[in-house]
Chains A and B, each alone.
Chain A
Amino acid sequence: MDFFTTLILVLDSTVRLSVPLLLAALAGLYSERSGVFDIGLEGKMLAGAFAAGAAAAVTGSAWAGLGAAVLVSVFLALVHGFASITHRGNQIVSGVAINFIAAGATIILGQAWFRQGGRTPSLPGDARFGALHLPFADTLRDVPFLGPIYAELISGHSLLVYLAFLFVPFTWWVLFRTRFGLRLRAVGENPAAVDTAGISVSWLRYRAVMCTGLLTGLAGTYLSLAQNAGFVKDMTAGRGFIALAALIFAKWRPVPVMFACLLFGFLDAFAIRIQGTPLPLIGQVPVQLMQALPYILTVVLLAGFIGKAIPPRAGGVPYVKER
Chain B
Amino acid sequence: MNAPTLFGLCAAVLVGFGLYGLIVHPQPLRKVLSFNLMGSGVFLVCAVIARRGAAAGMGGDPVPQALLITAIVVAFAASALAVALMLRQFDETGSSSLSNDPGPAPAKPAAKGEA
- B is a partner of A: no
Q: Which residues of A contact B (CB under 8 A)?
A: none
